[in-house]
Structures are given as structure tokens and as C-alpha cells.
Structure 1
Amino acid sequence: MSLTVTHEPDTDRYAVYDGDELQGWIVYDRVDGTVRLLHAEVPPLMRNKGVGGEVVRAILDELRATTTDRVQPVCGFVVMWMRRHPEYADLTTR
């Protein structure tokens, strides 16, 4: 499995693909310089395979590299993932 994460701003989401097949996504919005990660979705057959984490990591790495926006994890999965990866704590809203 070779995963690619793509930012799809027209649909306010980051999506992960294996080839041409959609494997999951995270929906977001932007409010006053904050990117709110609202909802993660991964099909049941792809869960517990690292797909969701790949999307979160890609989003946070892109935000760190390209903007000064802060991150507000709203989705429970994203909150949990970020707690397990404190190296991204500097990106969250205070």
C-alpha cells in the first residue's frame, strides 16, 4: 500500500489515496487563523492500518511548513493522535 495525502481545498478536506482509491479524509475549516480539524473518516476495512494517522501527520507537517495558522483538533481521533505525538503540540491553539 502506497498512500498519498492530498489537500483538496474546494471540499475543505485532506484526503488519502492508495493509487486512485480514496482511503480516508479529514474535513476542516479555517476561522481567524485557526485550522479546525473537524472530522476524520476512514472506511472500516482500512481502520487500524495507520491511514488516519498519515492524514493527520501530513496536515500538520504541511501547516508547519507553509503557514503560521494554529490547529484546533475538534475530532476525537485527531485529539487522541496529537496527544500521542507531542512533537506537534506547538501547532495547537492555546
Structure 2
Amino acid sequence: MSLTVHHEPDAERYAAYEGDELQGWIVYDRVGTTVRLLHAEVPPVMRNKGVGGEVVRAILDDLRQSTTDRVQPVCGFVVMWMRRHPEYADLTTR
């Protein structure tokens, strides 16, 4: 599976695609300079294939490279993923 993750600011989400087919997404909002990752959605047929993790990684990499914003993981999946990847801990709000 070859996924690409796109930031879709008008929809306040990052979405993963395989070709033109939407495979999953994470919605967010902003409070000042904090990006709150609110909810991850991956269709049942695509679960446990790394789609959600790819979206989280893309969001965090994007924020690390392009802004000084911080992340507040609200979604349980994102919280769990970030605990397993402490290399992104510096991006979280204190």
C-alpha cells in the first residue's frame, strides 16, 4: 500500500489517500498556537494497516518543519501513538 497524506486546511484535517481513494483522516482545530488532534477515522477495512499512524506521523512532521505550533493530542488513538513514539514528545503542549 502506498499512501500519501495531504493537509486539507479548509476541512481542518489531514487525510491519507491511496491514489484517489480516501483511506483515513484526522481532524483538528487550533487554539492559539496549539493544534488539537481531535479524532482519527479509518474505515474498518483499512484498520490495523498503519493508516492512522501514517497520518499522525505526517501531521507531526509537518508541524515540526513548518511552524512553531504545539500539539495537544485529544484523540485516544493519537495519545497512544505518541506514547509509542517518544521522539515526538517535544511537540506536545506542556
Q: TM-score range by the shorter chain?
A: over 0.9
- Paired residue for 1:65? 65
Instruction: Kindly tell me the number of residue pairs found equivalent between the two proteins.
Output: 94
RMSD: 0.3
Cα deviation for residue 15 of structure 1 reads: 0.2
The residue that corresponds to 1:93 in the other structure is 93
Counterparts in 2 of 1:1-94, with a 5 A limit? 1-94=1-94
TM-score, normalized by length of structure 1? Answer: 0.99
Which runs of at least 4 in structure 1 moved beyond 2 Å after TM superposition? none
1:19-68, Cα deviation, whole Å (9 max, x unpaired): 00000000000101000000000000100000000000000000000000
TM-score (norm 2): 0.99
> Which residue identity lines up with residue 47 of structure 1 in the other structure?
R
**Aligned residues: percent identity?**
88
| 1:66-94 residue CA offsets vs partner (Å, 9 max, x unmatched) | 00000000000000000000000000000
Q: What is the rounded CA distance, in whole Å, between the counterparts of 1:35 and 1:56 in structure 2?
A: 12
